[in-house]
Amino acid sequence: QKEVEQDPGPLSVPEGAIVSLNCTYSNSAFQYFMWYRQYSRKGPELLMYTYSSGNKEDGRFTAQVDKSSKYISLFIRDSQPSDSATYLCAMSANYGQNFVFGPGTRLSVLP
Amino acid sequence: DSGVTQTPKHLITATGQRVTLRCSPRSGDLSVYWYQQSLDQGLQFLIQYYNGEERAKGNILERFSAQQFPDLHSELNLSSLELGDSALYFCASSTSGRAVDEQFFGPGTRLTVL
């Protein structure tokens, strides 16, 4: 079993839909969680960062962490074609430890 | 544009060869990370440097090595290349190298081993 799992997709949704992207993990020590967006032929860029459990909202994006279930989610409201990209979750156990990335979910928002 | 530069953009070479990938971090960033991204493995952390010193090691093969120079640029050396080394190699940088810091990724070097 991989340490961090994501459904690779592709996930296709119509413009304006609410998108739910998820990661599950096995290491209960993880407490720093990040979501990265990666456009084709580009490097990943940070979207959201959360520490421990709870929700965090930034514009159309909401990140949720449920440590008891070892499950994190990224919700995208009013999805746009420009949101079409691969979304990577990443997590770390402690302050200085390197992040473990999920394999990514490819999202396609259709106009 | 993240401010992180990587050269070359593309590299095609043969099995058994050695290549060097170069990364310049964002101005002011002291920490550099190297990642390998392949279709079947996703994004794999290789190694991290902070201010010239190795700070963390991930899934880096013994055939691979890296260093960070006094001007903070970094090089990743890949030797005895195999077909399976074909991948995108990303460099990222951050201010202090702590897990809480955002990492800024470069555009990547696409390595093809024939």
The pLDDT of residue B101 is: 79
B98 contacts on A by Cβ (under 8 Å): 95-96
Residue B9 has pLDDT above 90, yes or no: yes
The pLDDT of residue A52 is: 83
Residue B99 has pLDDT above 80, yes or no: no
Which range of B19-28, B39-48, B56-65, B100-109 scores highest in mean pLDDT? It is B19-28
Identity of the residue numbered A89: C
Model pLDDT for residues A96-111, shown as the tens digit of each residue: 667 889 999 999 999 9
Residue A1 has pLDDT above 80, yes or no: no
What is the per-residue burial (b if ≥16 Cβ within 10 Å, else e) of A66-101?
eeeebebbbbbeebeeebbbbbbbbbbbeebbbbbb
In angstroms, the CA B68 to CA B20 distance is: 13
Model pLDDT for residues A8-56, shown as the tens digit of each residue: 889 999 999 999 999 999 999 999 999 999 999 899 999 998 888 889 9
A100 contacts on B by Cβ (under 8 Å): 45
Chain-chain contact of A98 with B56 (C-beta, under 8 angstroms): yes
Residue B100 has pLDDT above 90, yes or no: no
Confidence at A86, pLDDT banded by 50, 70, 90 = very high
The pLDDT of residue B3 is: 94
How many contacts (CB atoms, under 8 Å) link A and B?
A: 62
Nearest residue of A to residue B38 by CA position?
A103
Q: In what order do the strands lie in the sheet with A71-76?
A: A4-6, A19-25, A71-76, A61-66, A54-58
A63 and A54 in contact (C-beta within 8 Å)?
no
Testing the interface with B: which of A47, A98, A101 to mutate, by most B Cβ within 10 A?
Answer: A98
Model pLDDT for residues B87-97, shown as the tens digit of each residue: 999 999 999 87
The pLDDT of residue B98 is: 76
Model pLDDT for residues B48-85, shown as the tens digit of each residue: 999 999 988 888 999 999 999 999 999 999 999 999 99
What part of A 54-73 touches B (C-beta under 8 Å)?
none
The pLDDT of residue B30 is: 94
